[in-house]
A and B are shown apart, each in its own frame.
Chain A
Amino acid sequence: MAAELQRTLDSAGSAVARAAATDLAQGVGRAALIFVATVLAALALAAPLIIAAGSDPITAYTALYEGSLGGQRPFAETLVSMTPLLFGGLAVAIAFHAGLFNIGVEGQLVAGGIAAGVVGIYVSTWAPVHVLLALLAGAAAGALWALVPAALKAWRGVHEVITTIMMNFVAFSVSQFLVKPGGALEGEIPTGTEPVQSTAELPRIWDPTRLHLGIVAALVVAGACWYFIYRTPGGYRFRLVGANPVAARFNGISSSRVIVEAMLLSGALGGLTGAVEVLGTHRRFLDSFSPGYGFDSIAVALLGALHPVGVAAASFFFGLLRAGSTQLQLEADITRDMITVISGLVVACVAARLLLSRRAARLGQGD
C-alpha cells in the first residue's frame, strides 16, 4: 500500500517536474526568440541611418563583425567590453525589479573608478587583498553616489531619473577636477592618474589580449544577482515593491526602505562597473574612460528582460557593438555615436513590443 502510494506520488511528482521543465523550455525559447527579434529589428531600423551617415549597412555590419568576432583579439575585446556592460546591466536590472529606474550608472561608474584608482595607487598590501579592497572601495563609492537619489526618492518622492542624471554631471565635474593638469590625482599622462600598483591589478587571463579576470567576476556576480532576486526574501521584497507598492505595504514591507536598499545595491554594482574597468582594463583612472557604458547598460537590462541570464546575453551583444565600433569608424567612417543610436532603438523596440503582444492577444481571441 505504502509502496503503491509512494509510486503514485513519484509519478505525480515527475509529471509536475516534466511539466515545469516543458514550461521552462518554452519560456526560455520564447525569451530567446524575443531577444533575437528585438536585436534584428533594432539593427534593421538603424540601417537607413547608417546610409544617411554616408555608408551602407553591409559595409557597416561587416566591419562590426570583423571588429568583434573576427579573430582572437577582436573576440577578447568583445569580452573586455562585455564586462562593464554586464555589471552595469545588472545594476539597472536590480533597481528595475524594485520599480526604480537608475540611469545614473554612468556617474556611479565614474565614482567607483575614482575610488578604486585611489585605493589601487595609495594603499599598499598583498595582491588579492589589495584588489578586493579596491573593488570594495569602488562599490562603496558607487553606492554613495546613489545615496542622494535614493534619499530624495524615499523621503521626497522625487523621480530617480532626474536625480541620478544630475548626479552624473556632478561626477563628470569631480572627475575632471581631480585629473586635470595640477589636479589632486594628476598622473604622467594627460587627464589620467598614476597607474595602480601591480598588486591592485585584475590579472589578465588570455595572452596576448587585454582580457582580464573581470569577466569571470561579472559572471559570478550575475549568478549572485539571480540567486538574490529569485531565491531570497530580500529579492522577493524588491520584486513585490516593484510590482505593487500598495500590496507590499499591506504585507508590512516599507517601500521607502526597499527603495533605499535597491538604489544602494544598484549604485554599488554601478561603482563596481567602473572599478573593474579601472583595475582590469586601464590599470589607472582616466577621465571619461567610459564610452557610455552606463547608458548602454539601460538597453542591456531592458533587452535582457531584467533576468540575469538575459542581461548576460544582452551585454555580450552590446560588447560586440562596442568592440566593433573601432572597426566601424575605420572602415565605414561612422562614429561610435551610432552605437548609442542602436541602444536607443533597442530600448524603443522593447517599449513597442507591448503593442505587438497586445495585437497578438487580440488576434488569438478572434477579435
Chain B
Amino acid sequence: MAEFHFTTPISKEDVQKVKIGDVVYISGTIFTARDEAHERALHLAEKGEKMPIDFEGLAVYHCGPVVRQVGDEWEIVAAGPTTSTRMDLFEDEFIKTFNVNVVIGKGGMGDRTAKAMKEYKAIYTAFVGGAAVVAAKGIKRVKEVHWLDLGTPECLWVLEVDKFGPLIVGIDSNGDSLFKNVALQAQENLGKIGEFLGITF
C-alpha cells in the first residue's frame, strides 16, 4: 500500500505508477461533476464546443458540495463524495474525450468504467463517504464556478486543493478493481459464513 502525492496536471505516466489499494493525495486543481455536468460536457463536446476550462490532466470529483456565498466569493462548507456508480453511464466517454486521468468518488465503479480505465490509462480513487470535514480541509478555495444553472450540487466547481485525500485507489490503469475483488471475496466467504450460521446460501 504505497502513498503517492500528485500535483496537477496529472499525466498518464503518473497514474500508471499506482495499483489498487494504494493511497493518493492530490494538490493543484480538481473539478466537481455529477450526472448532469457529465452529460452536458459530453453533449457540448459532441457539438464541437469548448469547455469552460481545460479538463486535461485534472481530476474529476463526484461531489455536490454544500456551499455558502459570502459577497462575491464562494465558500465550500462540506464536500464529501457522492455515489459513483451513477456516473458509469458517462465516465468511459468522459475519460476518452477530455483526457481526465483521475476520477474521485465513493463506492466504486463498474466494469464499463474499469475497461475504459485500462484502455485510456486512468484511475478511480475512493474518498471516504461522509468525511465532509476532512474533504473540506483539503480544499483551499473555489477558483471558478460554471454551469450554475444546473444548481449548486450539480454545477461545475473548479477547486484549488492541497493534499486532498486520502484517496484509496479503487480501479487502476490495468483495469483491476478493488471493489470487484472485495465483492468476489465476499461471495467466496459465504461458504464459511453458512457453516458458522448453520445455513446454506
Q: Do A and B bind each other?
A: no
Chain A residues in the interface with B (C-beta under 8 A): none
Chain B residues in the interface with A (C-beta under 8 A): none
